Structure 1
Amino acid sequence: MARGARSVALLLMMLGVAARAVSAVSDGPLPNGHFEQRPDASQMNGTRVMSPNAIPHWEISGFVEYLGSGQKQDDMILPVPEGEQAVRLGNDATIRQQLNVIRHTYYSVTFGAARTCAQAERLNVSVTPESGILPIQTVYTSSGWDSYSWAFKAKHSTVWLSIHNPGHEEDPACGPLIDAIAIKALRSPHHVKTDNMLRNGDFEDGPYIFPNTPWGVLVPPIAEDEHSPLPGWLVMSDTKVVKYVDAAHHAVPRGSHAVELVAGRECALLQEVRTVPGRPYKLSFSIGDAGDGCAGHLAVDAYASAAALKVAYESRGAGGSSRAELEFVADADVTRVVFQSGNHHMKPDGTLCGPVIDDVSLVPEHAHTPAARRLRM
């Protein structure tokens, strides 16, 4: 009897250990996501990593280099934003890590990337069966490093996250630097608050932002059939992005996060929402500046159904905001709410910037009517 009890206890303990071993990845940096755990010198040829499993917690293929901060390529110094080490993905190079996740959960991946010597650099980020091409040829920071985000819905409890450079340059080492990779579970994009018809209108749900990176996270173009790292919202553009910013490093009109429209009229932030044709609605939002030195005549163009509104904001680059409203009558059962920066703007250091929007709300007018009550259902 005692032996049987001990066997059961041992089995339960082993199951507990196994359960902990396969527990879902937590929000924050991935294991060795900063690449500070080095490959063994015997697995290197200069800066090139020669073994597929040389970098702890990662698998690699193709031309992958392991670089230190301040390392030079010709006359160019290669900086590292987090810690002392980073990797460079040369021709057809891939770095990947296996993750334990929760099935049917939405996740956002954040990673740092910097251009080097290739002309039209881009990255293919994937979690099978989903993938996305992220353009990284435009630089939005003075350091040369930008943080990008990408989202997926977990189809399985174990997945491979891959970052791949599909480029082929004459110099096989040319390719983007990668550093600081993190993950974050997202709320379902279908979640809607009872007092706001828009999903995630306060932008409080979004990609992971590293505490030591003051430049926010870029949300790339998102097709309608892809998942967004900014739940509820799409980014429409060929190559440009919007920037997700936090109150720890920026002036945010309300709450902890907002969106900076950094690409002028080349990019639009939008959301589609169900409406009742002929019913009046009111769209309201805050416009301001991120307190990042983006000064001048900022403006946001807002659209809903056939209505449009241009809202001007005089910025000193030190923070602040004002409130705007757009009233319209829906002309279809689905209305597209769109925001664009009225123009291109640059900070004194030459980096792109723009107006901040936050606290976006869409409500039916005369909400006490039976039609409005049916809409909220």
Structure 2
Amino acid sequence: MFFSLKKNEAFFVETLLFIIAHFCIFSSFLCLTLDSTLIWYLPNGDFEELPKPTNLKKTVLVGKHALPKWEINGFVEFIAGGPQPGGMFFPVSHGVHAIRLGNEASISQAITVKPGALYALTFGASRTCAQDEVLRVSVPPQSGDLPLQTLYDINGDTYAWGFRAKTNIVTVTFHNPGVQEDPACGPLIDAVAIKELYPPMPTRDNLVKNPGFEEGPHRLVNTTNGVLLPPRQEDLTSPLPGWIIESLKAVKFIDAKHFNVPYGHAAVELVAGRESAIAQILRTVPNKEYNLTFTIGDAKNGCHGSMRVEAFAGKDTVAVPFESKGKGGFKSASLKFKAIAARTRITFFSTFYHTKINDFGSLCGPVLDEVRVLSIRF
């Protein structure tokens, strides 16, 4: 949207949207009734509206409505990011305050949406203890568990989770289903935003839906590390419309503002080797031949080494090498395949695991962009 404007005009519009978005925090459901391009935080979605002193016992919230705009259940803490007693450090990238969910604890909020529409929740989430932690996200009747044991970025991770609204008012719930030895252990949530998504369709020139990943979740303010798309996301409710995250680990949705993106405004980064796979099911004609083309590269984020992306289409496959110096190069590749059914699955994953040259604690990988499938005419 802003790329077609002059630089000073783009700055003005971005500033205006920023003001509107933060005004929404204090305006209950106003921000959820605006056009979807203006939907940012849920009411008090960044948890910067402070609880009353009488509703806090040190860091523990006391009372079901102790957290403004939210309903809480169980042991829920209101914390400030940074160094903590006992030598711990809580990363809070989106503001100052965050929520920590103890054993079986949850926070929830009712929001107004459009029945039948597809939405993506975007939120900061990370584990706070050494044990494996899980964050359960639900908008009934849909629910999903996000495994948080893998730390993709030492400064905290941002996730997106998709759902399709069944009614005009839905309840968003974040729940810690685990039981740890320390009841204070549990996932940390530091911001929650929502965006309506518009499911793309294939075209005459390309059988792939959302081929350049331009339609995707909202990127929170200050999200410079991209947005993780959780594993096992089905295409009907995926936060990346048209695509299935079918792997055991997440893939990362990245933008051109903070990363090197070969085409357009967005791409995906395959951050967890063979455990980070993305797929789509295409309508094809049996025995007809097609050509799959795609672009791979590095995100100019310090991810380096000998990369390789493997692509599958039906029974055919290709492995494309790419030598990354972490400075933003890319190359194109192709695969000719014959459809054996009326539906053909195309899948992409990274062969190897990678970390950043200046941060060995952060997972990264090759970038995938501009996926196209066309029939071969003779």
- Structure 1 residue 99: Cα displacement: 0.6
Distance 1:346 1:22 in 2: 38
Q: Which residue of 1 aligns with 2:23?
A: none
- The answer as to 2:171 corresponding to 1:160 is yes
What amino acid sits opposite 2:102 in the alignment?
Answer: G
- Structure 1 residue 136: Cα displacement: 1.1
Q: Which residue of 2 aligns with 1:355?
A: 366
Q: Is the 8 A contact 1:118 1:175 kept in 2?
A: no
- The answer as to 2:150 corresponding to 1:150 is no
Q: Which residue of 2 aligns with 1:75?
A: 87
Distance 1:76 1:27 in 2: 34
User: Which string of whole-angstrom CA distances, capped at 9 and with x for unpartnered residues, describes residues 32-73 of structure 1?
Assistant: 111110100101111000011121111111110000122414
Distance verdict in 2 for CA 1:312–1:22, change over 3 Å: closer
Partner SS state of residue 265, structure 1:
helix
- The answer as to 2:193 corresponding to 1:182 is yes
Q: 2:271 aligns with which of 257, 262, 268?
A: 262
User: Which string of whole-angstrom CA distances, capped at 9 and with x for unpartnered residues, describes residues 324-376 of structure 1?
Assistant: 1111111111111010102111112111111000010111111xx7xxxxxxx
Q: Number of paired residues?
A: 346
Q: 2:207 aligns with which of 197, 215, 238?
A: 197
User: Which string of whole-angstrom CA distances, capped at 9 and with x for unpartnered residues, describes residues 1-43 of structure 1?
Assistant: xxxxxxxxxxxxxxxxxx9798367521111111110100101
TM-score scaled by length of structure 1: 0.88
User: Which string of whole-angstrom CA distances, capped at 9 and with x for unpartnered residues, describes residues 229-261 of structure 1?
Assistant: 0111111223x1100000010000000000000
Q: 2:334 aligns with which of 318, 325, 333?
A: 325
Q: Which residue of 1 aligns with 2:355?
A: 346
- Structure 1 residue 321: Cα displacement: 1.0
TM-score scaled by length of structure 2: 0.88
- Structure 1 residue 152: Cα displacement: 0.5
Distance verdict in 2 for CA 1:241–1:20, change over 3 Å: closer
Distance 2:255 2:31 in 1: 33
Distance 1:84 1:73 in 2: 17
Distance verdict in 2 for CA 1:163–1:365, change over 3 Å: same
Q: Is the 8 A contact 1:109 1:182 kept in 2?
A: yes
- Structure 1 residue 188: Cα displacement: 2.1
Q: Which residue of 2 aligns with 1:215?
A: 225
Q: Which residue of 1 aligns with 2:10?
A: none
Distance 1:129 1:301 in 2: 35
Q: Is the 8 A contact 2:235 2:241 kept in 1?
A: no
Q: Is the 8 A contact 2:235 2:244 kept in 1?
A: no
What amino acid sits opposite 2:263 in the alignment?
Answer: R
What amino acid sits opposite 1:157 in the alignment?
Answer: N
Distance 1:322 1:139 in 2: 29
- Structure 1 residue 82: Cα displacement: 1.4
* Percent pairwise identity: 48
- Structure 1 residue 270: Cα displacement: 0.5
Unaligned runs of 5+ in 1: 1-18, 370-377
User: Which string of whole-angstrom CA distances, capped at 9 and with x for unpartnered residues, describes residues 193-251 of structure 1?
Assistant: 3321011111001111123111100111125476100111111223x110000001000
- Structure 1 residue 118: Cα displacement: 5.0
Partner SS state of residue 120, structure 1:
coil
Distance verdict in 2 for CA 1:28–1:334, change over 3 Å: same
User: Which string of whole-angstrom CA distances, capped at 9 and with x for unpartnered residues, describes residues 69-104 of structure 1?
Assistant: 224141112231111111100111111111100111
Q: 2:280 aligns with which of 271, 286, 305?
A: 271
Distance 1:327 1:195 in 2: 16
Q: Is the 8 A contact 1:222 1:228 kept in 2?
A: no
Q: Which runs of 4+ in 1 moved over 3 A?
A: 19-26, 223-226
- The answer as to 2:189 corresponding to 1:170 is no
Distance 2:32 2:174 in 1: 23
Distance 1:116 1:73 in 2: 13
The Cα RMSD (Å) is: 1.7
Q: Which residue of 2 aligns with 1:281?
A: 290
Q: Which has the larger radius of gyration?
A: 1
Q: Which residue of 2 aligns with 1:228?
A: 238
Q: Which residue of 1 aligns with 2:20?
A: none
Q: 2:97 aligns with which of 85, 92, 106?
A: 85
What amino acid sits opposite 1:126 in the alignment?
Answer: S
Q: Which residue of 2 aligns with 1:206?
A: 216
What amino acid sits opposite 2:162 in the alignment?
Answer: A
Distance 1:106 1:271 in 2: 18
What amino acid sits opposite 2:190 in the alignment?
Answer: D
Unaligned runs of 5+ in 2: 1-28
